[in-house]
């Protein structure tokens, strides 16, 4: 790159929980050339991946006690000034934000502190069709404002780019498509399968359906429970594993009890052995109401699982209808049931979908090398452009 010193990059993410945005950020930081980049991550104090982040060589982790996902005006203002002061004190060259809340606060603080290189990665937009009108237009307005001073906006799906252009968020040239990276070998050759089966009481005869998701409205985990209830009427021996946790856990447990699904559903909680759990499944399901591009689907396909997912965001860019899985409308339990029943009673169809799912991801676009190469090239281009602008001002 021709840099005369290490480039200080501040990554800002709301919370290091077990999600796609968080996994990708840590993969990026882990793979960065530490001889060229000096990375920092600023995040909230809590999160299941905090310890994982702390183990990354060359990374400095900064915890901000004011950073929260919910809108809390006083704490949000304090978080803004916390970020602003950190940037000023640590000679930050590039601010790269991830997730909606951090994307707004982080970019505003970066702009106020005079940072010339501001990048945001969209992991699904902050506005969506399930919000009340006031909230929808408020977030849309903030995204438009922040896009004005973002040097680049990284999207992981074409759908996110088209959505932004529809809503007049930035111009065409501002968006860079950089797909999520998946370690496909990890999911193809996972270990610990027998341990997981023993833990969950699964036998070789069981048909197992699974989903990994945070228990929040976006992922609609209650629809997964309703699907289990619908399948139980026809295939009572099918087991359902739900990996994750969150604010809807109480409602999930209540619905499990009401539908008498105690013997069918396994609530696994948050797990770090996702590859092993996916290897125990026959079908993967995702019931989200809205998405960008869920990494859970990419992981499931890497593990050779047929996928039934709601047709949201960029999901159809990877799940090919009738080839690697099925797409249904959000909230359509009847369609979910019909598609799942078909896959459960037709092992040959599952095998065909499985083979095509693996081959669909076996190209460079979803590799870690591709993500690192494209992201660091973007850093290089923006940094050199920034330096040239400074030099031209000095000599003008």
Instruction: Dump pLDDT digits (tens) for 190-228.
Output: 777 889 999 999 988 899 999 999 999 999 999 999 999
Q: Are residues 176 and 250 in the same domain?
A: no
The 3 state secondary structure assigned to 193-219 is HHHHHHHHCCCCCCCEEEEECCCCHHH
Vertex 199: Cα angle to 194 and 200 (nearest 5):
100
Q: How confident is the model at residue 116 (pLDDT cuts 50, 70, 90)?
A: very high
Residue 45 lies in a domain: yes
* 294 pLDDT above the threshold of 70: yes
Q: Are residues 53 and 105 in the same domain?
A: yes
Q: Are residues 241 and 108 in the same domain?
A: no
The pLDDT of residue 386: 84
Range in 50-64, 108-122, 360-374 with the lowest mean pLDDT: 360-374
For the stretch 220-229, pLDDT in tens is 999 999 999 9
Q: How confident is the model at residue 389 (pLDDT cuts 50, 70, 90)?
A: low
By three-state DSSP, how is residue 290 classified? coil
Residue 292 lies in a domain: yes
Phi, psi of 50 (to 5 degrees): -60, -50
Q: What CATH number did the domain enclosing 80 receive?
A: 3.40.50.2000
Contacting residues for 322 by C-beta, under 8 A, at least 6 apart? none
Q: Are residues 155 and 252 in the same domain?
A: no
The pLDDT of residue 394: 44
Q: Are residues 205 and 307 in the same domain?
A: yes
Q: How confident is the model at residue 395 (pLDDT cuts 50, 70, 90)?
A: very low
- Burial of residue 364 (CB within 10 Å: 0-12, 13-18, 19+) is exposed
What average pLDDT does range 10-18 have in this prediction? 95
Number of domains in the chain: 2
Q: Where are the alpha helices (DSSP H) in the chain?
A: 20-31, 50-54, 73-89, 100-112, 133-148, 158-166, 184-188, 193-200, 221-232, 249-258, 274-278, 295-302, 333-345, 347-361, 368-395
What average pLDDT does range 290-310 have in this prediction? 95
Residue 227 lies in a domain: yes
The pLDDT of residue 392: 53
Q: Are residues 193 and 276 in the same domain?
A: yes
Percent of the chain with pLDDT over 90: 85
The pLDDT of residue 391: 52
Residue ranges making up the domain that contains 171:
7-181+367-395
What average pLDDT does range 345-372 have in this prediction? 89
* 243 pLDDT above the threshold of 80: yes
Range in 153-162, 322-331, 341-350, 364-373 with the lowest mean pLDDT: 364-373
Q: Are residues 196 and 249 in the same domain?
A: yes
Q: Are residues 250 and 327 in the same domain?
A: yes
Phi-psi region of 313 (alpha: psi -120 to 50; beta: other; left: phi over 0): left
Percent of the chain with pLDDT over 70: 96
The pLDDT of residue 145: 97
Q: Are residues 349 and 233 in the same domain?
A: yes
Residue 47 lies in a domain: yes
Let me know: does 9 contact 94? Beta carbons within 8 Å.
yes
* 4 pLDDT above the threshold of 70: no
Residue 243 lies in a domain: yes
Residue 352 lies in a domain: yes
Residue 1 lies in a domain: no
Q: Are residues 26 and 145 in the same domain?
A: yes
More confident residue, 17 or 252: 252
Q: Look up residue 126 and give its DSSP letter.
A: S
Q: Are residues 155 and 35 in the same domain?
A: yes
Q: Are residues 125 and 237 in the same domain?
A: no
The pLDDT of residue 3: 55
End-to-end distance of the chain based on CA atoms, in angstroms?
A: 25
Residue 2 lies in a domain: no
Nearest residue to 125 via CA among 113, 112, 135? 135
């Amino acid at each position: 790159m021709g840099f005369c010193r290490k480039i200080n990059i501040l990554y800002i993410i709301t919370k290091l929980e077990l999600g796609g945005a968080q996994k990708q950020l840590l993969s990026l930081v882990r793979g960065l050339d530490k001889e060229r980049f000096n990375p920092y991550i600023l995040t909230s104090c809590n999160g299941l991946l905090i310890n994982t982040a702390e183990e990354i060589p060359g990374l400095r982790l900064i915890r901000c006690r004011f950073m929260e996902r919910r809108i809390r005006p006083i704490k949000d203002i304090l978080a803004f000034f916390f970020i602003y002061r950190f940037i000023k004190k640590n000679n930050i060259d590039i601010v790269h934000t991830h997730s909606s809340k951090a994307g707004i606060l982080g970019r505003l603080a970066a702009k106020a502190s005079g940072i010339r290189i501001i990048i945001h990665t969209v992991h699904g937009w902050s506005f969506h069709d399930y919000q009340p009108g006031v909230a929808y237009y408020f977030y849309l307005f903030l995204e438009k404002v922040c896009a004005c001073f973002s040097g680049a906006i990284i999207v992981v799906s074409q759908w996110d780019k088209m959505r932004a252009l529809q809503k007049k968020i930035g111009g065409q040239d501002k968006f860079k498509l950089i797909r999520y990276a998946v370690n496909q070998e990890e999911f193809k050759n996972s270990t610990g399968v027998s341990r997981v089966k023993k833990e969950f009481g699964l036998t070789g005869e069981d048909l197992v359906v699974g989903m990994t998701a945070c228990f929040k409205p976006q992922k609609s985990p209650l629809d997964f429970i309703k699907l289990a209830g619908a399948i139980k009427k026809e295939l009572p021996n099918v087991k359902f594993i739900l990996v994750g946790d969150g604010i809807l856990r109480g409602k999930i447990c209540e619905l499990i009890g009401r539908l008498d699904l105690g013997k069918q559903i396994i609530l696994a909680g948050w797990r770090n052995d996702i590859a092993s759990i996916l290897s125990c499944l026959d079908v993967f399901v995702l019931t989200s109401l809205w998405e960008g591009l869920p990494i859970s689907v990419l992981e499931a396909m890497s593990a050779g699982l047929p996928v039934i997912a709601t047709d949201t965001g960029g999901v159809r860019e990877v799940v090919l209808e009738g080839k690697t899985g099925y797409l249904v409308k959000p909230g359509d339990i009847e369609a979910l049931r019909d598609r799942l029943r078909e896959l459960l009673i037709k092992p040959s169809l599952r095998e065909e979908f499985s083979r095509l799912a693996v081959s669909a991801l076996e190209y460079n676009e979803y590799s870690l090398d591709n993500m690192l190469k494209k992201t660091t090239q973007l850093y290089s281009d923006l940094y050199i452009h920034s330096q040239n602008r400074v030099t031209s001002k000095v000599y003008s």
